[in-house]
């Protein structure tokens, strides 16, 4: 259980009352996961013994998995979109089921899933980008100010030429959005590998990212903007975040959108999320300003709880240390 006090109840889903208690549901998921490992069908709509036997036989015959049909998606307007977005993770044994929606953000919805046999974690967070991201061909700025298509090493990719679909076509738009999402995933993967405090990323397929879930069966980790931090812990959180920013910079990335909204706090540890705006300081202008903004915002978030740092001086020190490295 977190040691923080949640001050904002905005994360509580008003529809939750209607759904089975999360803890109860998760126990059920654990049971299903165990059953799944024994090769028996597991989804709730398959509770009929005849259906279970048939599915079990079919699976034995063909080595196929039971169809993916999470109860939590039934009745959702975007149910089909989410289902198709997450099926690949299920097929790859990374998730066993979708437990509930965690939060709907500007561009994506995050779901809490139970982990499948291929994952080391019992709970996973799946971030599913919405269809409108793919549909809107006209006004990019509305969704991603200044975002460009980049390859995995952060270099801008020209959206013209052989083999690249036209940007004004639906295919071109899908290509562009998937490239952003791939870049977001690659940045988080890089960050995790460098030792940055961030949820462990597992996979990205199309419009969806899969990562370690921060929280437990009862609650999702609160964002830093939602809590009162113990005065005794604030400095440790700030120091940990500054260290993470510097580690990331050493890997040629700046988060670019770091604030108390993109930091989860759990059991005394901060977790940086949402690498969608990450930039490579080797490509493009304004990197130093972005770095300074990230450091200042993190310092501002923890200042009310007694954590102290000269943020601009810390950002300068990081920047010059970075430039001193071979680039």
Ligand X SMILES: Nc1ncnc2c1ncn2[C@@H]1O[C@H](COP(=O)(O)OP(=O)(O)OP(=O)(O)O)[C@@H](O)[C@H]1O
- 95 binds ligand X, rule: CB under 6 A: no
Residue with Cβ nearer Mg ion (178 or 274): 274
Residue with Cβ nearer ligand X (12 or 313): 12
- Closest residue to ligand X in the complex (CB): 105
Binder to ligand X among 107, 189, 233, 294 (CB under 6 A)? 107
Q: Which does 199 bind (CB under 5 to 8 A by kind): Mg ion, ligand X, none?
A: ligand X
- 184 binds Mg ion, rule: CB under 5 A: no
Residue with Cβ nearer Mg ion (189 or 274): 274
Q: Give the full edge-to-edge strand order of the sheet including 208-212.
A: 95-104, 108-115, 123-129, 208-212, 201-205
- 201 binds ligand X, rule: CB under 6 A: no
- 102 binds ligand X, rule: CB under 6 A: yes
* # chain residues binding ligand X, by CB under 6 A: 24
Interhelix angle 311-323/287-302, rounded to 10 degrees, is 140
Site string for Mg ion, 245-264 (x = CB under 5 A): -----------------x--
Q: Which two tokens stand for residue 126?
A: 């799946």
Exposed e or buried b for every residue in 198-225, given b needs 16+ CB within 10 A? bbbbbbbbbbbbbbbbbbbbeebbbbbe
- 184 binds ligand X, rule: CB under 6 A: no
Distance (Å, whole) CA 225 – CA 245 = 19
Q: Which two tokens stand for residue 109?
A: 């919805």
Residue with Cβ nearer ligand X (265 or 295): 265
Q: Which of 186, 237, 215 is nearest to 110 (CA)?
A: 215
- 270 binds ligand X, rule: CB under 6 A: no
Q: CB 263 → Mg ion: shortest distance, Å?
A: 10
Can you count the helices (H) and strands (E) in the chain?
Answer: 8, 9
Q: CB 127 → ligand X: shortest distance, Å?
A: 5
φ, ψ of residue 88 to 5 degrees: the values are: -60, -40
Q: Which does 301 bind (CB under 5 to 8 A by kind): ligand X, Mg ion, none?
A: none
- Asked if 124 and 155 touch (Cβ cutoff 8 Å), the reply is no
Q: What angle do CA 142, 81, 77 make, to 5 degrees?
A: 85
- 135 binds ligand X, rule: CB under 6 A: no
Distance (Å, whole) CA 295 – CA 320 = 15
Site string for ligand X, 110-129 (x = CB under 6 A): x--------------x-x--
- 274 binds Mg ion, rule: CB under 5 A: yes
- 223 binds ligand X, rule: CB under 6 A: yes
Contact residues for 176 (Cβ-Cβ < 8 A; gap 6+) = 149, 159, 167
Binder to ligand X among 262, 263, 265, 299 (CB under 6 A)? 262
Q: Which chain residues interact with ligand X by CB under 6 A? A: 102-103, 105-108, 110, 125, 127, 199, 211-215, 220-221, 223, 261-262, 264, 273-274, 276
């Amino acid at each position: 259980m977190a040691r923080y006090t949640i001050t904002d109840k905005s994360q509580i889903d008003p529809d939750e009352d209607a759904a089975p208690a999360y803890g109860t549901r998760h126990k059920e998921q654990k049971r299903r996961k165990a059953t799944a490992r024994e090769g028996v069908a597991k989804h709730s709509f398959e509770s009929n013994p005849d259906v279970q036997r048939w599915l079990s036989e079919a699976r034995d015959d063909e080595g196929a998995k039971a169809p993916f049909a999470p109860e939590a998606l039934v009745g959702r307007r975007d149910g089909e979109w989410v289902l198709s977005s997450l099926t690949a993770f299920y097929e790859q044994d990374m998730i066993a089921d979708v437990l509930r929606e965690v939060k709907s953000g500007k561009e994506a919805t995050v779901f809490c899933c139970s982990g499948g046999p291929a994952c080391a974690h019992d709970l996973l967070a799946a971030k599913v980008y919405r269809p409108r991201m793919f549909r809107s061909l006209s006004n990019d700025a509305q969704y991603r100010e200044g975002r460009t298509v980049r390859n995995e090493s952060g270099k801008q990719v020209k959206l013209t030429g052989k083999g690249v679909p036209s940007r004004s076509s639906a295919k071109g738009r899908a290509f562009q959005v998937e490239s952003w999402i791939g870049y977001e995933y690659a940045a988080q993967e890089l960050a995790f590998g460098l030792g940055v405090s961030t949820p462990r990323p597992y996979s990205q397929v199309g419009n969806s990212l899969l990562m370690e879930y921060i929280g437990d069966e009862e609650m999702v980790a609160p964002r830093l903007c939602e809590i009162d931090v113990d005065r005794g812990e604030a400095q440790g959180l700030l120091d940990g975040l500054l260290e993470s920013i510097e580690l990331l910079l050493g890997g040629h990335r700046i988060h670019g959108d770091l604030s108390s909204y993109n930091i989860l706090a759990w059991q005394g540890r901060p977790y940086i999320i949402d690498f969608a705006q990450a930039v490579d300081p080797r490509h493009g202008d304004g990197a130093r300003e972005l770095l300074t903004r990230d450091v200042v915002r993190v310092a501002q978030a923890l200042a009310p709880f007694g954590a102290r740092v000269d943020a601009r001086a810390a950002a300068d020190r990081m920047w010059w240390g970075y430039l001193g490295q071979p680039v």
